[in-house]
Chains A and B, each alone.
Chain A
């Protein structure tokens, strides 16, 4: 099977989804696609069922928080791969912190279940359509999402470890 290139995949994605693909990038050789949040399920499904790309394996889901980008504070990051083609792709979708809703991938991959629960647990991203969206690693009674950046790990008054003291 011919080797799949990032150019090929991004062209195919643009051809199929057009405006739903917000941007593409290739940090360290891995194609990173920012996808409109409403189309994430169809993009993943299409990548999974694509006869050539065949990204049949959901490697990882995680989230992250960018408080400095208004309206796009939370980000869900997906890694997918095709084992026969030895090809990996990263998908991202940004959601506002006021309405952090991302469609769930549990219908496509059973493995998404716990990964989405973990992401919900850490960042509070609501995966719509998830069968059991509960906290998984932290206690159920927790009423905040600990990996959001507004919760500093150490005492907030402590300044000796700030980057500004080291010329950054």
Chain B
């Protein structure tokens, strides 16, 4: 009898954990992420992350490429909001060579960047809905992401990996079709977005599901290097657009939404509110769009219009020199940050005056804050872990560079 009791006590003392391999290609993780979870029944005890499945060595490639060819690399970082990455990179080079951009180009950039932010946040929030079981919102708003892509297509010709803009401004002025599409979007989208909001924001099933899921305190978030909506959801009002305004963001009237608990609901609501603020910014920029040129006078960096390249000797020479990376770049090092879709997207550029950067480092917000993921999901259910990941908006392309 005694012997039997001792055995049963021993068995209780050694808990039995299950190892669950979540990923790398799990349909619920929306990207290539691997997490080896240590599970106690349904409860996550520990997680070990593996990243790098789509590592493409951008920083190495960038050391061999002229400046324009790096724009296409930045497209593939956070591919949900490529224009922000493109323009962040162009602004970094502009900072290095010391060019002032005309107001019109700055406003055009703001419009495009805010549209990209809306697209980025829409994907994230719609997917949070999907992971809680609400597929309707996703199918409904994705049509509107397509309409944003239609606008990009009018401006630059591409939809997802946009390669939009030039060093020194925009490649062309908004055409009538683009302006019409932006105006239509501003007119119709808020209504649709309100419907999406009423579907989820106060929905009892959704709210019960996401409140207190994957929370993080402001202090922990800061020490883990959180930026962007995830940091603001924890209650820190840090936004690069406000603290270091670039591209005339200080001209616009908008607010920075902040959350309290840093949980999935706060992250969702911060993004929802940011979409509304972005709409406000686009509206102000469209109303006050200054006239004038959409490019600065930097022939050694701004690619000439294609028509001129075919018919004009000077344009042809500049085109050749720019494409071959023959423009003189000053030596120096510069760090420039923009507010990307999910946080501070920084570019550290070290130039030795050569045709390609000596060193280019991307400060990728995802890569830095994804470290906190095990801490955020510990003690929660497996299904909460999925939800936490999608609400953090971890983009595999940005994570793995």
Partner-B contacts on A (CB < 8 A): 27-28, 30, 32, 56-60, 62, 64, 77, 79, 83, 86, 88, 90, 109-111, 113-115, 118, 122, 135-139, 146-147, 151-154, 161, 163, 166, 168
Contacts and interface: CB of A to CB of B under 8 A. Distances in A.
Contacts of A137: 51-52, 55, 400-401
Nearest to A152: B64
Given A59-B225, A137-B52, A83 B243 contact: yes
Interface in B43-58: 51-52, 55, 57
Contact of A62 (B238, B355, B361): B361
A59 B224 CA distance: 10
Contact of B350 (A64, A109, A110): A64
A138 B52 contact: yes
Interface stretch (B101-109, B197-205, B304-312, B363-371): B363-371
B217 to A, nearest CB: 13
Contact of A146 (B60, B332, B400): B60
Contacts of A118: 367
7 contacts: A28-B333, A62-B348, A79-B346, A111-B369, A139-B52, A152-B64, A168-B353
Best-surrounded residue of B64, B244, B371, B400 (most CB of chain A within 10 A): B371
B317 interface: no
Given A28-B95, A136-B51, A136-B52, A109 B223 contact: yes
Interface of B: 51-52, 55, 57, 59-61, 63-64, 95-96, 222-225, 236, 238, 243-244, 324, 326, 332-335, 337, 344, 346, 348, 350, 353-355, 358-359, 361, 363, 367-372, 400-401
B55 A86 contact: no
A83 B238 contact: yes
Nearest to A166: B326
Contacts of B359: 62, 64
Contacts of A168: 353-355
Contacts of B335: 28, 30, 60, 79, 88, 90
